[in-house]
Chains A and B, each alone.
Chain A
Amino acid sequence: MNQTLARWLQAPSIIMLLLWMIVPLSMTIYFSTIRYHLLYPDRSGFVGLSNYEFFYTDPSFWPSILNTLILVGSVLSITVISGLVIALLIDRPFRARGIVRVLLISPFFIMPTVNALLWKNMIMNPVYGLSAVAAISVGAEPVNWLSEYPLWSIIVMVSWQWTPFAVLIFMTSLQSQDQEQKEAALLDGAGVWSRFYNLTLPHLARPIAIVILIQMIFHLSIFAEIFVTTGGGPGNQSTNLTFLIFAQALQGFDIGVASAGGLFAIILANIVAIFLVRIIGKSLTV
């Protein structure tokens, strides 16, 4: 195939994504430099960088960036590690494995808002939630998860949803692993750990890279779980960057400041992306 044809074939996707990026992005950049408050339709005008300054000097700014990174980092580690463990556990055939698989991957199909409501009301509620009932039945004091460990509660909810995704992908990759190679290693007397480290892990390098990349995109902008459960609090303990922008744009109706915040979020996302690509880029693509 010649390069010209290749370009033509690639053009639609590149042009569409370029438009999808450029048009809103340039509007966002424009909005970020003007006075634009939905409830003040008559105020307008160029304000320079003051929207940026306002967003940046928000006392929640740095905590929200830290929270975003903690969220992404913890959820990625939890889902990848537990995904690996579970996938290895169910790798060997056993009776009714299909049912186990179906049960395991189901949380991935649940809507994020429903996920959050489920956990908030039926599990984490300190009075009628199941965790409280369990705690009382063994004589312990019920833990008030959402206000004592708000960020960790969110991490649990998100991990519940996304571990199945990791399991799904690792499980399928494992099944394509060369069984003969595995048996040969077993005959050579290789231990469980050495077999995992030398055979399985390299085999899974690429699926792991893909799981991390795809999940990272979603976790940088976690929103529904926070909105439904903690509302970013108490204080700003579970406010991530997306939520901070939401608070500015849709709760404060200040589109100017929210646009400035959106640009901060893009910068952060790209820093994280570059960082990750450095680490896992090798096992991805070429």
Chain B
Amino acid sequence: MTDRQKQNIINQLCIVSSWLIALVFFFPIFWMFLTSFKTELQAIAVPPLLFFEPTLENYSLIEERTDYFKFAWNSVITSFGGTLLAMLIAIPSAYAMAFAPGKRTKDILLWMLSTKMLPAVGVLMPIYLICQQLDLLDTKTALVVIYALINLPIIMLILFNYFREIPVEILEASRMDGASTISEITQIVIPLSWGGIASTALLSIVLLWNEAFWAINLTSSDAGTLVALVASFSSPEGLFWAKLSAISTLACAPIVVFGWLTQKQLVQGLTFGAVK
């Protein structure tokens, strides 16, 4: 067997195993999707049914019982809003840190990360009481602000790493032309690191979309996100597995599809400065 043939076989093996791994990873999601078209009785059948007569009754039940679009809209507003707010704060800061680093820049960054380590459940009461005092319970505003704050450290970390890749010479050249700091950010830094900014934002949106703790504890009837909607389908007394699969499918679908569509962007952006 020649080296070439050997290489070929190895290549084929790689491809086959990639497919296998990918299918294993995706299988639980596929199964959830499948279960959402079963009746409650079929959902718990032993052995599990792969072929069955699909029913839409779970979906029509959700349609009848809840206002899916209200929850979905809340999810969109809070995850995009939180990300946008965090970005607006983070871009100038990360820019300053990257291009005028002080002695303590690295420490500040690590300190920022450490604020994320405060376990949410340990500070629930303080935050709850503050929101209550400010009359912000069950509002999207509270979630947007909290979401911006919890993702700010991660966004700062990633953006800082991107901005450092921008050659300083370019900035210096523009400064010679008398560009202001604002125009430096908007006309040079942002366009040059656009891929990084976009994919950081995407990452942040995904994380916020799935955030459960604050979404469940700070909302009731107005500002609930899809996470809260999913939680409301668990039942202490009564079978709910098929219905839960349907609502989970509906709750995850927007962000999964969003992730698929922006996959190319994510792939291009998240290189972490490896491109020189």
Contacts and interface: CB of A to CB of B under 8 A. Distances in A.
Interface of A: 1-3, 5-7, 9-10, 12-14, 16-17, 20-21, 23-25, 27-28, 31, 86, 89-90, 92, 94, 97-115, 117-119, 121-123, 127-128, 130, 133, 160, 163-164, 168-169, 171-173, 175-177, 203, 206-207, 210, 213-214, 217, 220-221, 223-224, 241-242, 245-246, 249-250, 255, 258-259, 261-263, 265-266, 269-270, 273, 277, 285-286
A249 B154 contact: no
Contacts of A23: 126, 130
Contacts of A31: 125-126
Contacts of B206: 108-109
Nearest to A259: B122
Contact of A12 (B31, B93, B263): B93
Q: Is the interface of B mostly helix, strand, loop or mixed?
A: helix
Interface string B142-175: 0000000100111011101100100000000000
Interface string B89-113: 1101101110111100110111011
B124 interface: yes
A281 to B, nearest CB: 8
Nearest to A11: B93
Nearest to B207: A218
B119 to A, nearest CB: 5
Given A104-B21, A206-B274, A1 B117 contact: no
A104 B119 contact: no
Interface of B: 11, 14-15, 17-19, 21-23, 25-26, 28-29, 31-32, 35, 44-48, 89-90, 92-93, 95-97, 99-102, 105-106, 108-110, 112-127, 129-130, 149, 152-154, 156-158, 160-161, 164, 181, 206, 209-210, 212-213, 226-227, 230-231, 234, 241, 244, 248, 251-252, 255-256, 258-260, 263, 266-275
A72 to B, nearest CB: 11
Contacts of B105: 285-286
Given A217-B113, A223-B213, A266-B118, 5 more contacts: A24-B127, A24-B130, A122-B28, A259-B122, A269-B117
A111 B212 contact: yes
20 contacts: A99-B22, A102-B260, A104-B22, A104-B25, A111-B227, A113-B230, A114-B252, A118-B29, A122-B35, A123-B28, A127-B46, A173-B272, A175-B271, A206-B272, A221-B120, A241-B119, A242-B119, A249-B125, A255-B125, A273-B117
A6 B126 contact: no
A122 B36 CA distance: 13
A89 B110 CA distance: 33
B23 A210 contact: no
Nearest to A134: B47
Contacts of A109: 206, 209-210, 252, 255-256, 258-259
Contacts of B258: 109
Given A105-B263, A220-B117, A130 B112 contact: no
A20 B115 contact: yes
Nearest to A165: B203
A28 B126 contact: yes
Nearest to A20: B149
A271 to B, nearest CB: 10
Contact of B96 (A10, A119, A214, A277): A10
B29 A113 contact: no
Contact of B93 (A9, A86, A104): A9
Contacts of A97: 18
Given A31-B125, A169-B270, A173-B271, A103 B263 contact: no
Nearest to A89: B18
B93 A103 contact: no
A5 B181 contact: yes
A3 B59 CA distance: 58
Contacts of B35: 122
A273 B129 CA distance: 29
Contacts of B47: 133
Contact of A160 (B28, B112, B252, B259): B28
